[in-house]
Every structure is written in C-alpha cells, then in structure tokens.
C-alpha cells in the first residue's frame, strides 16, 4: 500500500496529466523548483497544506480529492466512530 504522501503525489500527477499541464507550469504556479515539485509527485516530500490549497484552486477540485480512496481515510472514519461511541457511553453514564 502507498504511504499517504505517495498516494497524494500520485493523485496530483494523475490530475496534472489528465489536464495536459506540464510539471514546470505547476512548479512555477506553486513558486517551487521543478525538483521539489517532482519530489511531491513522487511522494518523497509531503505536500504542505498551502500547496494542497493552491493545487485544489488551480485544478478547481476539492482538497478531499487528493485523499479520496486512501486506506487512511477508513482508519480515520473508524477512529471517529470509536470517539463517538465513547462519548455516547459517557453521556449515558452522566444521565443515570
């Protein structure tokens, strides 16, 4: 399974290629070097929140697009369900 950084990088590359945009153009848009941009696409460097925001704006896609389908989303959903269940148990105990 791909790490989250690799997965996001692959999504960025796939989106860029689907729109026939050269990597040099995106690197310039993000104000970073082509080498640094290449490292983002390869998942060798994490993408900052600022760059994700800028990419979602450039491609007119929601930020969630870059994470959709990664297994860590399932883990996050499971964690939220567990937190909710604990909270419900605490609420039930307090009302008795």
pLDDT at 38: 97
Average pLDDT over residues 16-30: 98
Containing 84, the helix (H) or strand (E) segment is helix 71-94
What DSSP designation does 56 have? H
Q: What is the mean pLDDT of the chain?
A: 84
Does residue 93 sit within a domain? no
Residue 59: which CATH number? 1.10.260.40
Cβ 83 vs Cβ 93: under 8 Å? no
Which residue range is the domain that position 43 belongs to? 4-69
Q: Is residue 75 part of a domain?
A: no
pLDDT, tens only, 46-91: 999 999 999 999 999 999 999 999 986 555 544 444 455 455 554 4
Domain count of the fold of the chain? 1
pTM: 0.73
Average pLDDT over residues 28-49: 97
């Amino acid at each position: 399974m791909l790490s989250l950084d690799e997965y996001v990088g692959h999504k960025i590359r796939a989106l860029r290629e689907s729109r026939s945009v050269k990597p040099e153009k995106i690197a310039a848009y993000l104000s970073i070097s082509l080498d640094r941009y290449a490292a983002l696409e390869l998942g060798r460097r994490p993408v900052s929140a600022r760059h994700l925001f800028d990419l979602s704006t450039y491609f007119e896609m929601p930020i969630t697009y870059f994470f959709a389908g990664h297994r860590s989303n399932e883990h996050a959903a499971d964690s939220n369900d567990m937190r909710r269940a604990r909270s419900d148990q605490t609420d039930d105990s307090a009302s008795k």
